[in-house]
Structure 1
Amino acid sequence: MQHFNLAYLRRTLFVLLLVVLFNSNFSRSQSRQDTSAEDRISSQVIKLQNGITLNYAVQGNPDGPVIVLLHGAGDSWHSFARVLPLLPSSYRVYAITMRGHGLSDHPPAGYSRADFAGDILEFLEQLQIRHATLVGHSLGSFVAQKIAEQDNGHLDRLVLIGSGPGTQRKRSSSEDITSPFAKLADPIPYTFARDFQASTIYYPVPAWFFEMMVGEAQRVPAATWHGLAASIGAGESLDELKKIRVPTLLFWGEKDSIFRREDQDALLKNIPRASLKAYPETGHALHWERPERFTADLLAFIGSPVTP
């Protein structure tokens, strides 16, 4: 047991060192591009009226068009670390760490899609965010769907990365990935975090980034993983998707190990104003694997005219 704890401590310290080095290098890179404060990313916290405190990163012009980023299961705002430096400083960008993850609060329960969506809707309301582009990856995409279904003016556009219709179905590759969640105990094993993150990637990512995301998965407590297992297993009616009225862009990697082309077709059929961009030779973590192409496509979508 002492040997296990020592090994776990060493890995944790190594990952923390990577995060510190990344933040330091990221800040220096931003400073080289422009010395104005609005160009540099900052990490902040907000306490919601429901008592949950969320950590989030923010960058860019406070008066610019707003982009809100939501990560996948086991991640944090660092999931967008390869995208944030590519976004022009003319945009106001918020990358939120959802409850149960990263440096946000880790309640013992409350991990349904509605719980996550309620947090983000309150975040948007407290910061008086309107006319935003909401971007969600995997778990974050289901939260984004729920937000868009309920939205009353916060959103102009919706972007779903590695998403699906959220309906119940027979045993599938997604269940193969999520079934171990219910069996986890604290501390989260390094091998689970490593294998889970690796299962979402097809095209290689930088080693520093991968190790950082493994560390973020280890930071998520077992109670959150248990809640996610129950939440992912709970299906919803396809009719709910018809409530989404904003233009929606689907990003999907053709080598996605979790969601298939038929899932994208279901989204296209049921979200009234949806379109699809499929990336060949790319897996589930599309924005990790192809950050330059993803960012260019995202900005093109945001810049396109909104038709009634």
Structure 2
Amino acid sequence: MSTIAMKQARLVNGLTLPYAEAGYPGGVPVVFVHGLGESWASFEQVLRRLPTTLHGWAPTQRGHRDASRPDDGYRPEDFAADLVSFLDAAGIGRAVLVGASSGGVAARMVAGSHPDRVAGLVLCGVPATLEGKPGVAELGERIALLRDPLDQEAVEPFVSGLTVRPVAVEFLDRLREDAVHTPAGVWQQGFRGLLETDLPATLGGILVPTMVLWGDRDTFVPRADQEQQVKAVHGSRLVVYEGTGHCVHWEEPGRVTADLAGFAADLGLTPS
């Protein structure tokens, strides 16, 4: 198992983002981008499994857990700008970006706007759009009702409600703690930012190699979204995880790690 080191990055905008670093120092750079209400720990199980061919970084995004908490700036474009600034602060010239759920929106925005910084893009359960999805209105209602201080009952639907396969209790407990320590205002501003963003437009201009991972029992993001992303990004491919829910990296971390390593190898990316 790979050792995880915890560090902090000071961004040019003054924000401080904690981040986890794991894998082989000379490995292909991979940066993981978590979703709303999470932290770097969303990818802990993947980070611990990184092979010697990969070098991973997983920042905690603004407003979440122990990251800086500005009063505003929780739109996808804000998270995307932070991601580019993080690459600079961590000294990462070019990396494979792995975005999960809403984190994939920021990742693909960076892939489209800064192709020189992105060697490849991996999207895990990422929505192409939020329009017309029956679960979106219900999710919005739940988020609108959140009030500080949050408790585990309030955030439970955002954790256990996303999985199908059994997941370690200790890992789910960590995810609950991350959700509880994300202020209600961050949840609400982040979700509103997604609703107000033209998500299909964020698929434009992506020219980097792309792999889309999706669990076929994902009740929030349907297969049609994944096919829309594959159609929009030339040369991309869809990998379906049968019997898996929304967060494939929680339920199948070993397979996600293997698919990621294979993706990097297929791109001709090799350790330095």
The Cα shift of 1:228 comes to 1.4
| Correspondence for 1:279 | 241
Q: Distance in 1 between matches of 2:140 and 2:22?
A: 33
Is contact 1:201–1:289 with CA below 8 Å preserved after alignment?
yes
- Normalized against structure 2, the TM-score is what? 0.93
Distance in structure 2 (CA, Å) of the matches to 1:123 and 1:262 = 32
Of 132, 146, 155, which aligns to 2:109? 146
Return the TM-score normalized by structure 1. 0.83
The separation in 2 between residues aligned to 1:78 and 1:305, in whole angstroms, is 27
The structure 2 residue matched to 1:95, chosen from 44, 51, 58, is 58
Give the Å deviation of 1:216: 0.8
| CA 226–238 in structure 1, closer or farther in 2 if over 3 Å, else same | closer
- The separation in 1 between residues aligned to 2:50 and 2:132, in whole angstroms, is 39
- In the alignment, the residues of structure 2 paired with residue 203 and residue 237 of structure 1 have an alpha-carbon distance, to the nearest angstrom, of 29
Q: What is the one-letter code of the residue matched to 1:137? A: A
Alignment CA distance shift 1:265-1:226 (3 Å): same
Indicate yes or no: 2:86 matched with 1:84. Answer: no
State the Cα distance separating 1:49 from its structure 2 match.
Answer: 1.2
What CA distance in whole angstroms lies between the structure 2 residues aligned with 1:226 and 1:305? Answer: 38
Give the number of the structure whose alpha-carbon radius of gyration is greater: 1
Letter in 2 for 1:191: E
Q: Counterpart in 2 of 1:17?
A: none
- The residue aligned with 1:266 is 228
Task: Give the partner amino acid of 2:200.
Answer: L
Residue-by-residue CA offset, 1:253-283 (whole Å, 9 max, x unaligned) = 0010210011111111111221100111100
Pick one of 171, 176, 196 that aligns with 1:214. Answer: 176
Q: Could you give the per-residue CA deviations for residues 180-214 of structure 1, whole angstroms, max 9, x where no partner exists?
A: 21221101121121222111111110111111111
Q: Secondary structure at the match of 1:83?
A: helix
Aligned to 2:205: 243
Is the aligned partner of 1:126 residue 2:95? no
Give the length in aligned residue pairs.
269
Alignment of 1:103-122 (within 5 A): 103-122=66-85
- Contact 2:133-2:220 at 8 Å conserved across structures: no
1:169-208 alignment, distance < 5 Å: 169-208=131-170
Deviation at 1:64, TM superposition (A): 2.1
Moved more, 281-290 or 128-137: 128-137
Alignment-mate amino acid for residue 58 of structure 1:
E
Q: CA deviation at 1:306?
A: 5.5
- Gap change, CA 1:216 and 1:237, over 3 Å in 2: closer
Residue of structure 2 equivalent to 1:33: none
- Residue 223 of structure 1 deviates from its aligned partner by 1.3
Q: Which runs of 5 or more residues in structure 1 are unaligned?
A: 1-29, 31-38
